A = this chain, B = another copy of it.
């Protein structure tokens, strides 16, 4: 993860953007996490470090982080966005537990080809796709699943 932080510093320098403490702090939280963080969670994490960062700055930094390609923005239909490190991640899909909100990632090369073919069949030039499978995770199938980290019921529409 230190590598990613350095990559972010480099990105900033290369684009003549000042390398500031708040920016680096936000990058550390997002790139150092293995989860899909909401802005709220990021803000809390920063506050816990003893170096809170203003909401506006978090949003502004996330923009840069996404543009740098080091982080990815996600929308699971919860009413707010989440961010995760790109980790050079090839396209991957998400499994979302509608009970506890847990997100699992998986890859499937077939989807890349399949969606391209489907798009072509409709004369669309495919750019990307997004697949979310909603279901109930193993733990929640058994007994009481733990409470979701944030946000309302993940029983997302669409």
In the complex the two chains form, is B119's CB within 8 Å of A125's CB? Answer: no
Quick check: which of A1-9, A39-47, A52-60, A104-112 contacts chain B, the rest being far away? Answer: A104-112
User: How many copies of this chain does one complex carry?
Assistant: 2
Flag whether A12 is at the interface (Cβ < 8 A).
no
In the bound assembly, the distance between CA atoms of A35 and B131 in angstroms comes to 22
Residues 67-94 of A, flagged 1 when their CB comes within 8 A of B and 0 if not, give: 0000011111100010000000000011
> Chain A: residues with CB nearer than 8 A to chain B?
72-77, 81, 93-95, 97-98, 104, 106, 108, 110, 114-115, 118-119, 121-138, 141, 156-158
Interface pairs (25), CB distance under 8 Å: A72-B157, A73-B158, A74-B158, A75-B157, A77-B130, A94-B158, A98-B127, A104-B122, A106-B122, A108-B114, A115-B133, A118-B133, A123-B141, A124-B133, A124-B136, A124-B138, A125-B135, A126-B133, A127-B135, A127-B136, A128-B133, A130-B130, A130-B132, A130-B156, A132-B158
